[in-house]
Amino acid sequence: MAQERDERLADAQREHWQSTYTAHPGMYGEQPSDPAIHAADVFRAAGARDVLELGAGHGRDALYFAREGFTVRATDFSATGLEQLAHAAQAQGVGDRVATVVHDVREPLAVANGSVDAVFAHMLLCMALSTKEIHTLVGEVRRVLRPGGSFLYTVRHTGDAHYSSGTPHGDDIFEHGGFAVHFFDRDLVNALADGWTLNEVHAFEEGDLPRRLWRVTQTLPR
């Protein structure tokens, strides 16, 4: 029953994001997110040259990484969002540094073991993913990262105003306005960092509500 529920929610969310990107092209604007700006500094300091972005959407952060000189593999389950990203990359002259791949993070990453310098995911882990799916995804991130590689992600947490309100789906997932969010507690952050070096858990706010998030940076041991 739980698996069927998760699959129905996943299908509904995929359709919702597809229609949202179609109706609102470039909905998040052209400017990079603050976490992406910070991530670029972290990745550069670690000597990273390539970045895998999970949940890239229409690409404001992927394009920023490319403009900063990184080679970027941008994934998302919305083909519509990635089409917008690819078009913008060509228009900005960074098409040769950006590759787009339609991918659902519930599936294994089509990336070789130990082949990526850095992984970035802005609010992807707190989408409609079960705790088990989140652990599996972080395991995939660990698999594809090179030793010493950096993983920087952001998530909404249980201190957010929307936590415990809206439509509940179980497993700390609540839906507002058609968007389902898995709200993280600190125990989940700590569990996902098991076997990693947890460099930082930084609290910040974003948007008009405001949304309350953590920016988490962890490093794979060498």
Residues 134 and 192: beta-carbon distance below 8 Å: yes
pLDDT at 208: 84
Structural domain boundaries enclosing 201: 2-219
Angle ∠(155,113,187) on CA atoms, nearest 5: 30
Indicate the pTM of the whole model. Answer: 0.89
pLDDT at 10: 56
What's the pLDDT band for 153 if we cut at 50, 70, 90?
A: very high
pLDDT at 8: 64
Q: 6-13 long-range contacts, Cβ below 8 Å, gap at least 24?
A: 6/128, 6/130, 6/133, 9/128, 9/169, 9/173, 9/180, 10/104, 10/106, 10/128, 13/127, 13/128, 13/179, 13/180
As a whole number, mean pLDDT of residues 90-111 equals 96
In this structure, what CATH number is given to the domain that contains residue 69? 3.40.50.150
Amino acid type, 144: V
5: how many CB neighbours lie within 10 A of its CB?
Answer: 13
As a whole number, mean pLDDT of residues 137-165 equals 97
Span 199-217, pLDDT tens digits: 999 999 998 889 999 999 9
Report d(CA 149, CA 155) in Å as an integer: 20
Q: Which residues pair with 200 in a beta bridge?
A: 217
> Exposed, middle or buried: residue 174 (CB in 10 Å: 0-12, 13-18, 19+)?
buried
Cα separations in angstroms, 215 against 23, 71, 164, 181: 29, 22, 21, 16
Angle ∠(65,71,74) on CA atoms, nearest 5: 70
pLDDT at 177: 83
What's the pLDDT band for 138 if we cut at 50, 70, 90?
A: very high
Angle ∠(33,18,84) on CA atoms, nearest 5: 55
| Pairing of the two strands 98-102 and 71-76 | parallel
Q: Which two tokens stand for residue 105?
A: 């993070």
Q: What is the count of structural domains for the chain? A: 1
